């Protein structure tokens, strides 16, 4: 086979397409996160949920990237080897990014989604206090609740948002590092 074969080129196209679709599908998620934050209530939640759906689709392509990458190494007839610096480094970056993503980032995003849903549910009904709902026709009670400040979910959502920003930036840097390794192939 080797790197000059049609089979190798086919697997290379599949590898590159998975990179484009998978990582491209999530690389700009920070922009969608900012847009979700900019819109209150249902609209912000809708942006968040759409981003989450796209991310889930992208995830499958991201998981396929090393499958095709490893196949390319095996098909290269030793032109590329697992002992080469760029291969080791790329697999290490990918593994670290996957660990960060599945261990911290995605659980944090799921928490954000849950908090957003709680906040939307709170705004759809009458204000709630410890003793139950506040009647809609009691403006004094409504003002008192509003004066007490935002619900705790708002602060939790802010913390989760900051964590998502840090994780997202780190994951984007991992993508850039992996692309640099693939293009320049240090140690090849």
Q: Is the pLDDT of residue 130 over 60?
A: no
Q: How confident is the model at residue 119 (pLDDT cuts 50, 70, 90)?
A: very high
- CA–CA separation, 185 and 179 (whole Å): 10
Q: What is the pLDDT of residue 123?
A: 84
Q: Is the pLDDT of residue 51 over 80?
A: yes
The average confidence (pLDDT) of the chain is: 92
Which helix (H) or strand (E) segment is 132 a member of?
Answer: strand 132-133
- Rounded to 5°, the CA angle 119-122-128 comes to 135
């Amino acid at each position: 086979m080797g790197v000059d074969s049609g089979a190798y080129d086919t697997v290379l196209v599949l590898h590159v397409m998975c990179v484009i679709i998978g990582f491209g599908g999530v690389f700009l998620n920070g922009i969608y996160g900012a847009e979700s934050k900019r819109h209150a209530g249902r609209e912000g939640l809708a942006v968040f949920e759409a981003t989450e759906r796209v991310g889930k689709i992208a995830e499958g392509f991201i998981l396929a990237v090393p499958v095709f990458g490893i196949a390319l190494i095996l098909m290269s007839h030793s032109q590329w080897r697992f002992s080469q610096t760029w291969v080791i480094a790329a697999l290490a970056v990918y593994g670290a990014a996957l660990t960060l993503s599945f261990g911290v980032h995605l659980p944090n995003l799921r928490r954000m989604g849950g908090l957003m849903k709680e906040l939307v549910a709170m705004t759809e009904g009458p204000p709630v206090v410890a003793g139950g709902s506040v009647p809609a026709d009691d403006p004094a009670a409504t003002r008192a609740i509003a004066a007490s400040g935002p619900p705790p979910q708002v602060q939790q959502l802010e913390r989760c948002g900051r964590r998502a920003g840090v994780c997202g930036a780190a994951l984007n840097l991992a993508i850039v590092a992996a692309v640099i390794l693939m293009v320049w192939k240090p140690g090849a």
